[in-house]
Structure formats: structure tokens, C-alpha cells
Amino acid sequence: MSGDCEPIVESAMDVYDWVHLPTGLEAQALWGMHDAELISIHSNADRREVTMIFEAPHLMRFHGFPEDLQFIFRFTGVSSVRAVRGRPNELNPAIRTYLEESVSWRSLECSMTRENEQYIDVNYAEFVSNHIDKIAFRLEGYFNHADRHELIIRGKKLDVMRSDRKATSIEYLHDLGKLFWKSWKEKHSAGNATHPE
């Protein structure tokens, strides 16, 4: 994307064939993403790149990092992106069922603004890689604390960076999350923990 959010004709990168993650590969749950906030998405169809920026204040506090530290996911060689929104049952909100509908990727990324809390609270994320030239990333969360969203990206490579430019990796972020949730579970089992904020 060139920096603005004007409507454009959907590019060849927008291929809606995402029914399954790559076969024959085991998905890795990304515990570091659970309860993180996806605050920004930037796409460049010509370069076939997607950049996502995440914040996880609860994780940063636990590990003694600055709370405003961001993790930047840069996908390259992107072949397809998909966004699906699930609307709750308005007639009976108590029933946890959703009407799923496709969402324009460009419209979604243009609607995200951290200042107005228009971001996605991440509930779950997973990653698949053949360690050569195929990766897939799937994320579930709630946009603006309301509609459930599922985002999926397929590409060739994912690089993970920190906003302070220190070295990191998706495995490192995964380990940070595992340590946090292990500690939370132990405290919760002892009856003296609340859900992290």
C-alpha cells in the first residue's frame, strides 16, 4: 500500500482460496500472541508484502520490558490474504454463534487506528512453515471489542522484529508467551490470579 487508504481494484494478492492451512505441516500455537493487540496492518501488493504491528503490554510487564515495545511481523512473497468477520446473533446474543462473511482486506487495514482503539484483540494465533519457502499465519480476535475476525496470510517468509531493533524471532516470542501463561496458570490454580490486563 502506498500510504493512503483510497479504494483500489483488488490485486492478484487477494486470492480467496483459504479453506485449509498447508497440508502435511504441523501448526504451532503462538502463545506470545494470546491477548496481544494487532494495532496496524500495512500491505504492498506490488512487493507482495504485509506488515503487522503487535503490542502486548501484559507480556511486557511480566518480562520487565517497556510496555510500548512492539513486535513487527513482516510477511514477504505473499500469495494470498483473507479476512472473515463473524457477527454475533443479534436476536439472541447469549447464543455463541456467528454469521461469517468475507471482509475486504484493504478496508480492514484502513479502518485500524490505535488512537481510537480500532484494533484487534488477539484471541488465538498459529503459524505453519516448511522452513524453506512456504509459511501460513492465522489469527483470530475481536475488532473494536465487538466483531470476531479471522485473518490468514500465506506466503514464502515471515520475519519478526522488535521496535527497539533488538534481535528476536517467532520462536522467542512464542517462548515469552509460554512462560507468561505457565506462571498465570500456576497462580490461577492456587486461586489468586485474575485474567491479565
Q: What is the reported pLDDT for 43?
A: 94
Please give the distance of CA 58 from its chain centroid, rounded to a whole number. Answer: 16
Q: pLDDT truncated to tens, each residue of the chain (197 aa)?
A: 444 564 433 343 333 344 455 566 777 888 888 889 999 999 999 999 999 999 998 889 999 999 889 999 999 999 989 999 987 666 666 666 677 888 899 999 988 887 777 899 999 998 888 888 888 999 999 988 888 899 999 999 999 999 999 888 888 888 888 898 888 888 877 665 555 55
Q: What is the reported pLDDT for 16?
A: 34
DSSP secondary structure code for residue 193 in this structure: -
* Assessment of whether the complete model's pTM goes beyond 0.75: yes
Q: Quick check: 49 and 43 in contact, CB under 8 A?
A: yes
Contacts of 137 (CB under 8 A, 6+ apart): 73, 75, 125, 126, 127, 128, 152, 153, 158
155-182 per-residue burial string, b: 16 or more CB within 10 A, e: under 16:
beebebbeeeeeebebeebbebbeebbe
CA separation for the pair 51, 142 (Å, rounded):
19
Q: What is the reported pLDDT for 87?
A: 74
How far is the CA of 100 from the CAs of 86, 139, 163, in angstroms?
Answer: 4, 15, 34
Q: Which three cell numbers stand for residue 177?
A: 508467551
Element (H, E) at 172: helix 170-189
Q: Dihedral of the CA atoms 111, 114, 120, 121 (nearest 10)? A: -160
Domain extents for the chain? 28-187
